[in-house]
Amino acid sequence: MKDYHFSATLPQDARNIIEKILKEYLSLKTETISVYKAHGKFAAKDYLSLNTSPPTDVAAMDGYAINAEQTFNTTDANPAIIENFKVVQTGESIEGFDAVVPFEEAQVENGRIKIFQSYYPRQNVRSKGEDVQKEQLLIKKGDLLTIFDKVYLKAGGYLEVEVYKMPKVAFLPTGEELVDIVEKEGQLVEFNSVIFNDLLQRYGFEVGIFKPVENNLKKLTEKIKELLQEFDIVFVNAGSSKGDKDLTVEAISALGEVLVHGIAIKPGKPTIIGKVENKLVIGLPGFPVSMFFVLREIFLRPFFKTYNLNPKEKSIFATLERRLSSDIGSEEYVRVSIKNIDGKNVAKVLKRGASVISSLKRADGYVTVPINVDLIEEGSLIEVKLI
Amino acid sequence: MKDYHFSATLPQDARNIIEKILKEYLSLKTETISVYKAHGKFAAKDYLSLNTSPPTDVAAMDGYAINAEQTFNTTDANPAIIENFKVVQTGESIEGFDAVVPFEEAQVENGRIKIFQSYYPRQNVRSKGEDVQKEQLLIKKGDLLTIFDKVYLKAGGYLEVEVYKMPKVAFLPTGEELVDIVEKEGQLVEFNSVIFNDLLQRYGFEVGIFKPVENNLKKLTEKIKELLQEFDIVFVNAGSSKGDKDLTVEAISALGEVLVHGIAIKPGKPTIIGKVENKLVIGLPGFPVSMFFVLREIFLRPFFKTYNLNPKEKSIFATLERRLSSDIGSEEYVRVSIKNIDGKNVAKVLKRGASVISSLKRADGYVTVPINVDLIEEGSLIEVKLI
């Protein structure tokens, strides 16, 4: 029988190892694409506005451009009669005037307008540069482009944007019990690839999903070798713990080097970081929840750091509903749902089993309990990273 | 001069008109696609699980399957020696046993295992059907499919899913001052199409974006007619208010019927709903913020209702930072940002101008102030729809 005890690498050490390999061996190419298609891509350079928008002071609605001074002290009982005005459409320059009276707030009489209230200078006026100033920084290099970033880019004068081309990543499930459709006893549906695919595609990675390879060292080794021809990073799932059938470590050792086997995180401990021909080969744990957290916290975090990418992840603060205990010696990711109680965000801890996909579906986010913390008291204010 | 006063249709009446036309003239087709590609699509039927997962009680980790009873009252000082056990890998059936001892918590001695703590029945065991029960409702007809819905579909036995094929929608900007790149004075960048494109593509609409057509009634009319050959719904932007150059109403009248001109909402009042050859033609206001709210609140809401679609929009409750006044007679959409103050969600009202795209970029969500409400007091708990 094997020795099933293994010491775990500190999570920050594991991240540093990934960062080091990426920095040394994998540089990101860039590509230029239409602004319309830039959603979820990372900008590859700073973008400064080429335009000022609006280009001058303009009417904020259809109406009459006037000088506001002529209306001061105007009331219903004491209307102002104005001769010097200009009919303006929304967006038109109000040059020579300083306010706009909407059509419906004025009466026309003999080519003059009669109004019944005071206007202040700049009322119903959009100021030059209100949206965008020329030379203003629209987008920082490395920013994940959201819908409104795209609007700014186009308003600022860009039709195309240079973005990072994300690496090609392969997902290789292992185990002959894994199938797409269950046809006989003992088979299980392979569904981790769905999570992998969505999580990495969200950030623009080019994802390849492969059919499960059986638990055979030679076949696994050959398949990894084959995938490394085409892909920048290969992920193997699972076979990463220390069971008798867990061949991933042996396959990586045969091809290259195992740098990490086991990380002090929970869930997600049985994770492998290997290097083959200067490329990362990562063994992911089999449970979907574990895999999810390893991808987010152990792979993506150093990945973003390596290339100075800002994925704009959101987190909120919430009050912990009940005390939360955690093992010393593991960085723990605890799924929570957020409820609103009397205007307060209250975080409720969900079932912690690594195997249960329903707990991810119900989770709004998760709390990271540091490695040296064993208890967070009820009522503590905690940071919840949104999923 | 024209009459610039116009009465506004109640927002609910406008929604009802859209719903009526869609119900009568536009039915949604369906298509069958890979589960992997189903993100952001609406399911076209109920899906019940074909599988039970796990199919039986299985090990939740690699270790020794045992009967827990044999460990009751076991301590460090009083270890249990167990002969009747089975080595199990994660996910393997534990038939004949009821708990799993992780490898690292046992010592092997002469083919027996020695353990130093008590285990309870079902410890480290995943129960049959914990993830999915056969016949369990996985997805409801009309649900927007999220990442975890897709995982459930695959775990439940589906590789493909029947989803609604969303309509083809055209976006036609108007005005010769609109350009892609500003080259001379008086030109403005057309950027509303970026917002339109993203908002409708998010729900799977097939979006066509067209070059701006100049302010010429004949050309506008011809272009709308041409687009109606290919698209299910045509959106014209802007030319929907009552300025001298606003030709959209005239163009729709020439081709069909204007049903609504002006809606009692703020921002977004200058909106047109027309019908041409049994298809909707909608005139959207020119300001990006107005357009955004008209699309969400006047077009998409009745659209989803017509076809019983559940877009799973999120909202949170927050405390209003300052009193909020609003016009009686308009349903108002007020952008807010959410801050966390002492564990409370506090909603801060942002700049209300309809023209300012930066206010959408900064907004976390918006509050709908009903048509008959003129004031919400400071400290009120309000619902914020997340953007």
Per-residue pLDDT at B81 exceeds 60: yes
> What are the φ/ψ torsions at residue B224 (nearest 5 degrees)?
-60, -45
Q: How confident is the model at residue A215 (pLDDT cuts 50, 70, 90)?
A: confident
Q: What pLDDT, in 10s, does the model give residues B110-122?
A: 889 999 999 999 9
pLDDT in the model for residue A332 = 95
Decide if the complex's ipTM is over 0.90. Answer: no
Lowest-pLDDT choice from A69-78, A109-118, B42-51, B238-247: B238-247
pLDDT in the model for residue B2 = 42
Mean local confidence (pLDDT), A172-176: 92
Q: What pLDDT, in 10s, does the model give residues B310-344?
A: 999 989 889 999 999 998 899 999 999 998 887 78
User: Hey, are the CB atoms on B1 and A108 less than 8 Å from each other?
Assistant: yes
Distance CA A3, CA B104 (A): 9
Q: How confident is the model at residue A265 (pLDDT cuts 50, 70, 90)?
A: very high
Q: How confident is the model at residue B1 (pLDDT cuts 50, 70, 90)?
A: very low
Per-residue pLDDT at A1 exceeds 50: no
Q: Closest CB to A343: pick one of B243, B317, B357.
A: B317
First to last CA, chain A: 40
Q: Which helix (H) or strand (E) holds B260?
A: strand B257-261
Q: Closest CB to A357: pick one of B5, B35, B148.
A: B148
> What are the φ/ψ torsions at residue A298 (nearest 5 degrees)?
-105, -35
Across chain A, what does the average pLDDT equal? 91
Buried b / exposed e along A233-248 (16+ C-beta atoms within 10 A): bbbbbbbbbbbeebbb
Mean local confidence (pLDDT), B17-25: 98
Other Cβ atoms less than 10 A from the Cβ of B99: the count is 23
What residues in A contact B156, CB-CB < 8 Å? 189
- Closest residue on chain B to A357 (Cα): B131
Q: What pLDDT, in 10s, does the model give residues A44-62?
A: 999 999 999 888 998 888 8
Residue of B233 and A353 predicted with greater confidence? B233
Percent of chain A having pLDDT more than 70?
96
Percent of chain B having pLDDT more than 70?
96
Strand ranges of the sheet holding A106-109, from the earlier edge strand across to the other edge: A80-82, A112-115, A106-109
What residues in B contact A39, CB-CB < 8 Å? 198
Distance CA A253, CA A244 (A): 16
What residues in B contact A242, CB-CB < 8 Å? 62, 103
pLDDT in the model for residue A242 = 56
Chain A interface test: which of B179, B330, B340, B382 (most A C-beta within 10 Å):
B340
Q: How confident is the model at residue B238 (pLDDT cuts 50, 70, 90)?
A: confident
What residues in B contact A209, CB-CB < 8 Å? 36
pLDDT in the model for residue A50 = 95
pLDDT in the model for residue B7 = 74
What residues in A contact B35, CB-CB < 8 Å? 194
> What are the φ/ψ torsions at residue B230 (nearest 5 degrees)?
-100, -30
Mean local confidence (pLDDT), B252-279: 95
User: Hey, are the CB atoms on A150 and B198 less than 8 Å from each other?
Assistant: yes
Per-residue pLDDT at A357 exceeds 80: no
pLDDT in the model for residue B167 = 98
User: Hey, are the CB atoms on A62 and B198 less than 8 Å from each other?
Assistant: no
Max Cα distance, chain B (Å): 104
Q: How confident is the model at residue A4 (pLDDT cuts 50, 70, 90)?
A: very low
Which domains does chain B possess?
Answer: 11-28+168-306 (3.40.980.10), 33-53+131-164 (3.90.105.10), 58-126 (2.170.190.11), 315-386 (2.40.340.10)
Q: Closest CB to A198: pick one of B131, B147, B343.
A: B147
> Is A305 in contact with A337 (CB distance < 8 Å)?
no
Per-residue pLDDT at A316 exceeds 70: yes
Those residues with Cβ within 8 angstroms of residue A182's Cβ, 6 or more apart along the chain or in another chain: A188, A189, B50, B51, B55, B157
Per-residue pLDDT at B242 exceeds 60: no
Mean local confidence (pLDDT), A8-30: 97
Per-residue pLDDT at A169 exceeds 70: yes
Q: What pLDDT, in 10s, does the model give residues A68-110?
A: 999 998 988 899 999 999 998 878 889 999 999 988 889 988 8
> Is B271 in contact with B242 (CB distance < 8 Å)?
no
Q: How confident is the model at residue B229 (pLDDT cuts 50, 70, 90)?
A: very high
Q: How many CA atoms lie within 13 A of B276 on its CB side?
A: 28
Q: How many CA atoms lie within 13 A of B72 on its CB side?
A: 6
Mean local confidence (pLDDT), A337-365: 82
User: Hey, are the CB atoms on B36 and A245 less than 8 Å from each other?
Assistant: no
What residues in B contact A357, CB-CB < 8 Å? 131, 148, 151-152, 155
Q: How confident is the model at residue A141 (pLDDT cuts 50, 70, 90)?
A: very high
Q: How confident is the model at residue A244 (pLDDT cuts 50, 70, 90)?
A: low
Lowest-pLDDT choice from A340-354, B58-72, B152-166, B221-235: A340-354
Q: Closest CB to B182: pick one of A51, A60, A151.
A: A51
Buried b / exposed e along B150-176 (16+ C-beta atoms within 10 A): bbbbbbbbbeebbbbebbebbbbbbbe
User: Hey, are the CB atoms on A244 and B87 less than 8 Å from each other?
Assistant: yes
pLDDT in the model for residue A381 = 92
pLDDT in the model for residue B340 = 82
Mean local confidence (pLDDT), B68-74: 92
pLDDT in the model for residue B191 = 92
CA proximity to A57, closest of A123, A120, A127:
A127
- Closest residue on chain B to A153 (Cα): B191
Mean local confidence (pLDDT), B277-284: 97
User: Hey, are the CB atoms on A126 and B191 less than 8 Å from each other?
Assistant: no
Percent of chain B having pLDDT more than 90?
72
Distance CA A354, CA A188 (A): 17
Mean local confidence (pLDDT), B100-112: 90
- Closest residue on chain A to B320 (Cα): A343
What residues in B contact A181, CB-CB < 8 Å? 157, 159
